[in-house]
A and B are shown apart, each in its own frame.
Chain A
Amino acid sequence: MGIIQNIGKYFMMLWIVFSKPEKWRIFRRRFFEEMELIGIKSIPIVALMSAFMGAVIALQTASNMDNPLLPTYTVGYITRSSTILEFSPTIISLILAGKVGSNIASEVGTMRVTEQIDALEIMGVNSLSYLVLPKVTSAMIFFPVLIIFSIGLSLIGGWLALKLSGLSSTETYIYGIRFFYRDSDIVYALTKTVVFAFLITSIASFKGYYTKGGSLDVGKSSTEAVVSASVAILIANFFLTQMFLL
């Protein structure tokens, strides 16, 4: 199937997904279930990735600062800026595209090949709205929380790495972190995250929902979901950076 046809099908799916839920009470219950599955269960991997990411950024920056004209607080400044602007929202979203995206695609794909989605449709349930809407909305709300958490842990990771290696003092690092701070950077990071959350969950759901065949095809859908979501994140990141920062 051509890429244009797939994009058309994707937007048609979104049209049905965002129709009014059958029952708000059921939607609310599903929303919190998905928030736990997609969001809370991602905390350990996000924490691990963020702490090490921050540590490596800080060490790399400090070890490459040969120029005596550069102030020592630059390490903190660069760690903060790169974490908030790119590393936390983009890299963590790419990690989540792998973890959450494959999980959603395989879950929905398995429901498709075992006729569970047909069963929902026969009952008169709008299967897309029932299955996909809680995933998309819970991710769009919880991923920004994860990214704030990631930014915090990344900065702590950077501080710990510098402290343990003796490359910078705590005061200098904190001064660097606070130096020329803009709220708009956080707004930019969170806006990107919301867009990425939408892309990850909707693309993975799309790939899973339209799976045809058996278990092998569920695996293929899962891989395609991760690849497509990652590509979509990179493209969206490029355009969002142009829109916000230039």
Chain B
Amino acid sequence: MIEVININKTFGDNQILKDVSATFEKGKVNLIIGQSGSGKSVLAKCIVGLHEVDSGQVLYDGRDFTKMDRLQRKDIRKEIGMLFQGSALFDSMTVEQNIMFPLTMFTKMTRKEMQERVDFCLERVNLAGRNKLFPAECSGGMQKRIAIARAISMNPKYLFCDEPNSGLDPQTSILIDNLIREITHEYEITTIVITHDMNSVIEIGESVIFINQGQNWWQGDRKSIIMTDNKEINDFVFASDFMKEIKETLKKH
């Protein structure tokens, strides 16, 4: 479980996060949604320590990340897997080397054990046998799946996904969403997904946090998001007339 307590973050004179508190539960897909510039990516980067918070706490199963030194953070980071918006695969490495990289850096596995782990991870994301390809030779959807394979190679306790569906077609998006949900349930991971994709909200949103104007504006699950009367969240999630119709239909049922 990850808890954030009263996080504040300012860039220059611009306060991006204002006293944000939230709980991200273990074994669930926790979604952070919000408009562009609302502060959701900054929140995620604060949680993983890519940005330092001005004040507040980030607790990884009770361990306060904000008070840790570099070496203590390093230990926590070995428990984190992250899927970046642009996949962030290492261009100069093959698919296999990308997935093997954290294993090489942080484990004492033999070459054979690492190879087995790579094959297992690739099979898990339905990319068995693609070991020797370079990222540039893979499609956007494949790159996301390779990034997921890399993220799970170290058996993470926490998985972060930044806009996992950006730039993907609806069918591939559903594939990635399902993969994230399955992995989360299978390995009891605390998963945090930052997304704009309303399909994802409805499909995998077991816990949803709506960030608006740098604040935790609303929190609930995919069912309550349909029923809520909160104006801001309705304007954001059900922006189009089509979505409004869907909401009304869903509410009736």
Contact = CB atoms under 8 A, between A and B. Distances in A.
Interface of A: 22-23, 26, 110, 114-116, 118-119, 121-125
A22 B105 contact: yes
Interface string B89-125: 1110000000001101110000000000000000000
Contacts of B220: none
B77 A124 contact: yes
A115 B105 contact: no
Interface stretch (B21-29, B80-88, B170-178, B183-191): B80-88
B48 interface: yes
B106 A124 contact: yes
B235 interface: no
Closest 10 CB pairs of A and B: A124-B77, A115-B88, A119-B88, A124-B74, A122-B82, A115-B84, A124-B78, A123-B102, A116-B88, A114-B86
B52 to A, nearest CB: 13
B104 A119 contact: no
Given A122-B50, A122-B77, A124-B74, A115 B85 contact: yes
Interface residues of B, number: 23
Contact of A123 (B75, B78, B91): B78
A23 B86 contact: no
Contacts of A122: 48, 50, 77, 80, 82, 160
Given A23-B105, A26-B105, A125-B105, A119 B84 contact: yes
Contacts of B106: 22, 123-124
B116 to A, nearest CB: 20
Given A22-B105, A123-B105, A118 B50 contact: yes
27 contacts: A22-B105, A23-B104, A26-B105, A110-B91, A114-B91, A115-B85, A116-B88, A116-B89, A116-B90, A118-B84, A118-B88, A119-B84, A119-B88, A119-B90, A121-B77, A122-B48, A122-B50, A122-B77, A122-B82, A123-B77, A123-B80, A123-B101, A123-B102, A123-B106, A124-B73, A124-B75, A124-B78
A16 to B, nearest CB: 9
A125 B90 CA distance: 14
Given A115-B85, A118-B50, 4 more contacts: A118-B84, A119-B88, A121-B50, A122-B77
B3 to A, nearest CB: 19
A68 to B, nearest CB: 61
Nearest to A121: B50
Nearest to A130: B105
Contacts of A22: 105-106
A22 B88 CA distance: 21
Interface centre among B88, B90, B102 (most CB of A within 10 A): B88
Given A119-B88, A123-B77, A123-B78, A26 B50 contact: no
A119 B101 CA distance: 11
Nearest to A25: B104
Interface in B167-221: none
Given A124-B74, A124-B75, A124-B77, A119 B82 contact: yes
Nearest to B78: A124
A121 B91 CA distance: 17
Nearest to A113: B86
Contacts of B48: 122
Nearest to A116: B88
Interface string B51-90: 0000000000000000000000111011010101110111
A217 to B, nearest CB: 15
Contacts of A115: 84-86, 88
Contacts of A26: 104-105
Nearest to B76: A124
Contacts of B80: 122-123
A125 B70 CA distance: 11
Contacts of B91: 110, 114, 116
